[in-house]
Amino acid sequence: MPKVKNVEKKIWDVENFEVRFMMNGKDVKGHKEGLPQYKYQNAAKNNMTVEEWRKKRFDSSYPGYQVDVLDVDGVAAPGQKKLSTVRDSYIDED
């Protein structure tokens, strides 16, 4: 079973945004083991909101965990923000 940091990397590879695994409001450190690998191979649609992504892709795969979807500055995106806007924050940085 992969470590948190490996799952976070896989999410980056698929979704093109960074995430931070949380439990009880605290950051789950990257060395924690025992999570299933992120099962998706294609990025979620750009018009999906952060909250929709959490509900449809994250919550069912990682029960007991919460997740912050991060913009390029490492700030957690609000639930109503579109994934396209989060992804664009990384492109603008290049």
Question: Where do the structural domains in the chain lie, given as residue ranges?
Answer: 4-93
Alpha carbon distance 73, 23 (integer Å): 22
Q: What is the mean pLDDT of residues 76-82?
A: 98
Q: What is the pLDDT of residue 30?
A: 78
Using pLDDT thresholds of 50, 70 and 90, give the confidence band for residue 92: low
Using pLDDT thresholds of 50, 70 and 90, give the confidence band for residue 93: low
Is 0.85 topped by the overall pTM? Answer: yes
Using pLDDT thresholds of 50, 70 and 90, give the confidence band for residue 9: very high
Alpha carbon distance 18, 59 (integer Å): 16
